[in-house]
Chains A and B, each alone.
Chain A
Amino acid sequence: MKRILLSVAALAGAAAFFAFSNAPIAEAAQAQGDVARGQAAFERIGCWACHGHQGQGGSTGPKIAPNPLAFPAFSGFVRTTSGEMPPFTARVLPDQDLRDIHAFLMSVPAAPAVATIPLLQ
């Protein structure tokens, strides 16, 4: 059963890769993302629970913003991961929501430089 699941995950990953390896289509999909809707989805489905409200990461999940993965890699991971993070399929997270979430993560401003923060010196 485990082997079958891994195969399915691999196929899904491959499918995601091929689906988004077409650059123009991927760019168009990303362009359709809406920051406000993405932030709302990020909060609604609880991505922030592991990754923080700004995607900054913590002990429960890695940093995913600012500068998130490019959308193809981002989408491929979200759809097919089988690790501690459960896979979010299109049944529970529609493609548009995923694009919106990515747009929100892209909008997170860059962190202040360490040198500008006295508490971190």
Chain B
Amino acid sequence: MSKPEAKKVDRRKFLAGVAVVGAAAVTADSARAAVLPNGQIAPVAPSALRPSTLMAQVDNGVHAPPAALGTHAGLTQGRPGSDYMLDVIKSLNIDYVVTNPASSCRGLHDSIVTYGDNKKPELITAMHEESATAMAHGYFKASGKPMIALCHGTVGLQHAAMAVYNAWCDRAPVIMMIGNSLDATQRRPGVPTTHSVQDPGSLIRDFTKWDDQPTSLGHFGESMVRAYRIALTPPYEPVLIVMDEDLQEKGFAADAFPVIPKFVMPTAAAGDPNGVREAARMLVAAENPVIVADRAARSQNGVNLLVQLAELLQATVIDQGGRMNFPNLHPLYARGGGPIATADVVLGLELTDFFGTVNNFTDSAEVTQGPRVKPGTKLISIGMGDVYIRANYQDFQRYQPVDIAIGADAEATLPMLVEYVKAEITAARRAVIDKRGQAAAAAFANSADRMRTDAAGGAWNATPISTARLSAELWAAIKNEDWALVARDQSVSFWPHRMWNFSKYHQYIGHSGGAGVGYGLPAAVGGALAHKANGRLAVNIQPDGDCMYAPGALWTAAHHNIPLLTVMHNNRAYHQETMHLQRMATWRERRVDRWKIGTTIENPNMNFAKLAESMGVVGIGPIENPNDLAPALKRALEVVKSGEPVLVDVVAQPR
């Protein structure tokens, strides 16, 4: 039996601590609001909805410990350490732990399903660690709450690594937890030792924000709460906590569990007022300012603030789609990146790739590149990219010189920028701005007409089914529902963003971040799990190649009754690669008919409806005639409304 660790929980002191922390949080918010310009007390925009742990922390303190265990040497002597670990997790108000079961995590696994009665957190079974991580990734973006991905040490984390990189690039605070056995004298020989590692965090340290391998329960408590806080301090990023197997499994005296450290939700860093004021002056003075947003909005509040800023300036907004930043039917929404070419000031908000935003790069036999903006165009950057950066992986993209660089969180900075812009607009500028707005509205109306013409001319009645037709039929089926797209729409030529009405933050979760294939289906399942709590219809447009990396996610959806409408974009190829192969052959003047070798998914063709059914998901299709789409989607909607997942296999045009 281990010696007692630290102090036991004193509920009275714990509650007092929670109250103090809560008061401190309120004070901190008030202080931040008072910093706004020229001594004015600007109205404080409503805070982003952040997950609260206060009630979970209070609730956690009232659990009575189970009866003492360990009546003989063959039993655990005392309370298992993993019960304390679960207490800490519960204090963070985690709803789900998604796992592919692993012996190195067996202690915590047991605590979740027995001591914790599999409630808050509930265990979700994934069929691959990469899928588990992607589910946690998608879940966060749809819910705003982190989920834990619980993986086997070494091989499990190796499986998960690509998905962690996606989360890193996409700024998603996935909480990775793995098991590991540090003490060579205590771990089982053979495979368990093969699966042990001195420094598991090194495997993903280049693309996680923080990791630790605690060696005591007190250490675990501190590190778990610290990890959660770090992950949720913008920029959100994944973290890793390694649970020592021995620490999970050994028993502790009934009063030996340490106090659970208190937690308060961190606030985001807003920009330096001088820099923000200068940016406001530049924007107001511009003749044609353009706003570009990638992961600017972290909540509906971010969307609202961006709308407010755009309308104040009557500036066109290019939403690069890392998140839902701006309503796509707003007259200032740009359909495509064209406005960059005529901008005299570009405001980049949390851009992943500012260089690529303002420069052309042609992938030709001899690379050509050059500016996409006019000479003299001023560039303003607001984002955490320069504040938080790592050297090895190149997700930070090429260096782009700018005129004003504000190292701060965009959403947290927008209230200040809005106030400064208001202060800078004179009556004369107001007239210029209003005129600009009228031109933008006219251009937007024209683009809407062009969309309809393009859709009709886009092989509307063709087989394979056009991506425009697929998107239009799907929109007709869901538009009167409370829907959310839990997938990217790039593979279908962004037709949903041209046709549908995205107005709320939760209606779009962006993309994988790192473009690691195999993200789509499990992330959609994670997103659907989040939307299930609100009775929201989750819709996934699923590329076929991506699906086959992790088809087991379908089983997870069926097993856990996660309603998800998946519509396959089945173009029977790793389509992007077909184009690369053609490019190689033409540059080299070789056979251009060989591109199918190694890039297509045909002969035999996949039957995704049967694949779905094999895993307990209702499968419909394959649908090859566009006139069959509407009835298929109607049936699918009935299934998903009953609370079950459904998949419609649509054989479609490549893009």
For A89, the chain B residues whose CB sits under 8 A away are: 586, 589
Cβ A86 vs Cβ B582 within 8 A: yes
Interface size in chain A (residues, C-beta < 8 A):
36
Bound complex: CA A87 to CA B461 (Å)? 31
Cβ contacts A62-85/B at 8 Å (1 or 0 each): 010010000000000000001110
Which residue in B364, B494, B573 is a CB contact (below 8 Å) of A84? B364
Which residue in A2, A92, A112 is a CB contact (below 8 Å) of B592? A92
Cβ A92 vs Cβ B364 within 8 A: no
Which residue in A2, A48, A88, A120 is a CB contact (below 8 Å) of B366? A2
Which residue in A83, A91, A111, A117 is a CB contact (below 8 Å) of B589? A91
Cβ A59 vs Cβ B456 within 8 A: no
Within 8 A of A (CB), among B455-474: 455-462, 464, 466-467, 472-473
For B602, the chain A residues whose CB sits under 8 A away are: none
Min C-beta distance of A80 to chain B, whole Å: 12
Closest to B581 in A: A46
B481 at the interface (CB under 8 A from A): no
B106 at the interface (CB under 8 A from A): no
Cβ A44 vs Cβ B593 within 8 A: yes
B363 at the interface (CB under 8 A from A): yes
Cβ B654 vs Cβ A58 within 8 A: yes
Cβ A92 vs Cβ B363 within 8 A: no
Cβ B454 vs Cβ A113 within 8 A: no
Bound complex: CA A2 to CA B364 (Å)? 11
Cβ A113 vs Cβ B589 within 8 A: no
Bound complex: CA A114 to CA B453 (Å)? 6
How many residue pairs at the A-B interface have CB separations less than 8 Å? 118
Within 8 A of A (CB), among B597-655: 653-655
Min C-beta distance of B485 to chain A, whole Å: 16
For B596, the chain A residues whose CB sits under 8 A away are: 46
Bound complex: CA A50 to CA B592 (Å)? 14
Min C-beta distance of B577 to chain A, whole Å: 10
Contact A52:B365 (CB < 8 A) given known A59-B490, A59-B655, A92-B592: no
A28 at the interface (CB under 8 A from B): no
Contact A88:B592 (CB < 8 A) given known A114-B456, A119-B472: yes
Bound complex: CA A54 to CA B654 (Å)? 11
B45 at the interface (CB under 8 A from A): no
Bound complex: CA A50 to CA B571 (Å)? 12
Bound complex: CA A119 to CA B490 (Å)? 21
Residue with the highest number of chain B CB atoms closer than 10 Å, among A54, A56, A120? A56
Q: How large is the interface on B (under 10, 10 to 19, 20 to 34, 35 or more residues)?
A: 35 or more
Bound complex: CA A81 to CA B461 (Å)? 31
Cβ A93 vs Cβ B462 within 8 A: no
Bound complex: CA A87 to CA B588 (Å)? 10
Cβ A117 vs Cβ B655 within 8 A: no
For A87, the chain B residues whose CB sits under 8 A away are: 586
Within 8 A of A (CB), among B430-466: 452-462, 464, 466
Min C-beta distance of A45 to chain B, whole Å: 5
B561 at the interface (CB under 8 A from A): no
Cβ B366 vs Cβ A46 within 8 A: no
Cβ A117 vs Cβ B456 within 8 A: yes
Residue with the highest number of chain B CB atoms closer than 10 Å, among A46, A50, A111? A46
Cβ A53 vs Cβ B454 within 8 A: no
For A117, the chain B residues whose CB sits under 8 A away are: 455-456, 460
Closest to B584 in A: A86
A36 at the interface (CB under 8 A from B): no
A11 at the interface (CB under 8 A from B): no
Cβ A86 vs Cβ B587 within 8 A: yes
Min C-beta distance of A16 to chain B, whole Å: 16
B390 at the interface (CB under 8 A from A): no
Contact A53:B462 (CB < 8 A) given known A60-B654, A60-B655: yes
Contact A63:B654 (CB < 8 A) given known A1-B366, A49-B582, A87-B586: no
| New A-B pairs, 18, CB < 8 Å, besides A45-B592, A58-B655, A92-B585 | A1-B366, A2-B366, A2-B368, A5-B366, A46-B592, A49-B573, A50-B655, A56-B462, A88-B592, A92-B586, A92-B590, A111-B453, A111-B456, A111-B457, A112-B461, A117-B460, A119-B472, A119-B476
Listed A/B pairs (24) with beta-carbon separation below 8 Å? A2-B368, A46-B593, A49-B654, A52-B458, A52-B466, A52-B654, A53-B653, A56-B458, A59-B490, A63-B457, A82-B362, A82-B364, A83-B362, A84-B364, A88-B586, A88-B592, A92-B586, A92-B592, A112-B460, A112-B461, A114-B452, A114-B455, A117-B456, A120-B472
